[in-house]
Chains A and B, each alone.
Chain A
Amino acid sequence: MASKKDFVKFDKVDKSYDGKVLVVKDLQLDIAEGEFITMLGPSGSGKTTCLMMLAGFETPTNGEIYLDGKAISSIPPHKRGIGMVFQNYALFPHMTVYENLAFPLRVRKIPKDEADKKIDKALSMVSLQGFAARMPGQLSGGQQQRVAVARSLVFDPQLVLMDEPLGALDKNLRESMQYEIKHIHESIGVTVVYVTHDQSEALTMSNRIAVFNDGKVQQLSSPDELYEKPVNSFVAEFIGENNTFGGEVSDISGGKCKVKLANAEILANPISVKGKGERTTVSLRPERALINPSTKMDNLHKGKIEEVIYHGDHTRVRINLLGNPEFILKVPNSSSNLDIKLGNEINIGWNSDDARALDPK
């Protein structure tokens, strides 16, 4: 399948509700055909607004959105042919599951026997055969969610939008639904734009993630790159756990930089710092730092254990390190020989490649 790179294209889109504050600023975003893209961000970051503009319930204040090469700002929502799953499912409470699924087919005047086939297929896709005659009120939250997904797919849209669809489910159900939606996406190859504020959901499901903050896309990349290589300190903070050191670049050379902290100096990987004297925040993932490293690491410092929290598969250790009392380490519980006791002084080492010198907070 020759998939288009810019199946959906946001071109310099601005959005303001009151004419004073921009909730979406100069959005430039291409979504490829068949891609599962997630818009991730804290509430108020503009991600839902983007989705609503794509669905046609909000109009861009400036700029244009293209769907399959056509500008869609002037097309009303019902003619866009975009499937949508809403936060609270938005199932029609007065219709049975069958009628809910038949709704998009009836308005498209699809003959009944063909519609029935499509409905059967959609229901089996979400493993809800035999539920056609139920009313939405008789279904559990997870089942309602599946019906909503089936309804958004039953008329074979090219694009499906999902607005925090799993927000109302409990944790276990949410996780199994994540895989289910991911599998459905893989099996039918529809383009999905997914909005969530839950980073683990985004990391699990997406091909690419667009991290939103303050109306702008902070970073657009695959989940692993987002986690391993955040481009700024917002992304580093927002995705996963993060240890930070604030300091000033004292030297930069050969792909490494020295960062001067209050009473020490560390080696880091210069990502968004260019020269000496710049302020920076160094970001280090907890699992990249080791206690008493056996191999040689170019950062090695002593810290004092402040707190030990048992987590089953691993132990979290809070250490006061180089003036940061919130330095977190994750120690796998297989390495029980380590001397992790409250108040002990231990050696902690990490590679300068993993310590990313980003913009200052």
Chain B
Amino acid sequence: MSSETNQILTTDGIPLEVSLKKAERKNKIKAFLLVAPLLLFLIITYVFPIGDMLFRSIDDKMVTQMLPKTFKAMENWDGQELPEEEVFAAFHEDFIKLVEDKREGKLSTQLNYTKNGFKSIIKKLRRASKKFEEGNYKEQIMAVHKRWADVEYWRAIQRRAPEFTGQKYLKGMDMYVNEEGKIVSVEEDRRIHRVLWLRTLEIAFFVTVFCFLMAYPIAHLLATLPMKYSNLLMICVLLPFWTSLLVRTASWMILLQQQGIVNDFFVGIGLVADDNRPEMMYNKTGSYVAMTQILLPFMVLPLYSVMKTISPSLMRAGKSLGGTPFVAFWKVYFPLTIPGIGAGCLLVFILAIGYYITPALVGGASGTLISNQIAFHMKSTLDWSFASAMGLMLLSGVLVIYWLYNKIVGIDNIKLG
């Protein structure tokens, strides 16, 4: 063949490829315009918030902007001994400005995150600074409180110089950067987040397992029963969907509490003594029970949609070829439901990992999840950057699971409906 590529021309002499592109351009534009509103919606409601969250979680500009001159002066400081007068003077200048704007309180809060003990000495400094004389600020500031003469505190201030920081992420994993700049874990008795992460994974995992065990037979029934029964069953499965999440959780509270219906029943049939009623709520059990029930439809529906497509003659073929009902199920039916199992498990696990209301209401202290901690920081401590950091960690955890799933099962194998 000649090296020259044989270009196919249309009857008008235009290359075929060009002509094809021209012919399809209109359709492409039309298609794009059709999806454009959705694209815009996704960008506004999804990409922007997540981007903002990411930014917020690493943003540390506040202190940088409060003490611009100090940090500039600190650039030449090696951090070994107390800084020079130059740094103190710059700090004083910044501080006076903050006091004028009444923002020194915010500074004390921020610095206190880095090292405890800043709150009181900043208050003292504010009072003392009114009587400061010009010049020799090092002496004057150090005289306010002995901590101002401690190099540790100046190092703590220096650590806040960068505009961006990953320390919120470290905090989410119960770690921090110590004075020497090394990443270390906090003391054992102060590790709260790791426990929560592990518990979140554990509860999500077991809720997925329970949902799978319960949903598989239900979905199979749904797919094989005659229409009039399967419709009724379908309504029973979907009913929870149509009921408020709060109502469902509240009804579990009624059922599971110590004087509740389930406990009454156990006492009634003599399973437990009246004065020894088990606690089934405000602990992990409560979270397991309520979350499994609430997330069950998310497992049933993908399984059902897959099972519906499996021809009953396949099981029959398996049996007629000599397989026992179990072999026919295990070798023929079960492998064909794997796309549904994958979809259901992924869905339930991802939903469970970020579950909030139910564990907050029935989980008690030992049944709350990481999402409850995130909410706590959003609403109570107002440490939004920390909440954002944990939210992003949760998101990346989900993405990792998704990635693993794709590696193991393959995402094309998923079937949601």
Contact = CB atoms under 8 A, between A and B. Distances in A.
Contact of B321 (A87, A93, A94, A151): A151
Contacts of A78: 319-325, 327-328
Interface stretch (B241-249, B282-290, B331-339): B331-339
B50 to A, nearest CB: 38
Contacts of A88: 311, 313
Contacts of B331: 92, 103
Interface in A127-164: 151-152, 155, 161
A57 B320 CA distance: 9
A77 B319 contact: yes
A90 B323 contact: no
A212 B311 CA distance: 27
Interface in B317-359: 317-325, 327-328, 331-332, 335-336
Interface in B287-328: 311, 313-314, 316-325, 327-328
Nearest to B324: A78
A67 interface: no
A92 B314 contact: yes
A85 to B, nearest CB: 9
Contacts, number: 68
B336 A103 contact: no
A90 B327 contact: no
A104 B323 CA distance: 7
A108 B322 contact: yes
A353 to B, nearest CB: 46
A79 B328 CA distance: 13
Given A92-B332, A93-B336, A94-B335, A77 B313 contact: no
Interface residues of A, number: 28
Nearest to A163: B313
Interface of A: 55-57, 76-84, 86-88, 90-94, 103-104, 107-108, 151-152, 155, 161
Given A78-B325, A86-B313, A103-B318, 18 more contacts: A55-B320, A56-B319, A78-B321, A83-B320, A83-B321, A86-B317, A90-B311, A90-B314, A90-B317, A92-B314, A92-B318, A94-B336, A103-B321, A107-B322, A107-B324, A108-B322, A155-B321, A155-B322
Interface of B: 311, 313-314, 316-325, 327-328, 331-332, 335-336
21 contacts: A55-B320, A57-B319, A76-B325, A77-B316, A77-B319, A78-B320, A78-B325, A78-B327, A78-B328, A79-B322, A86-B313, A90-B311, A92-B317, A92-B331, A94-B335, A103-B323, A104-B322, A107-B321, A107-B323, A108-B322, A155-B321
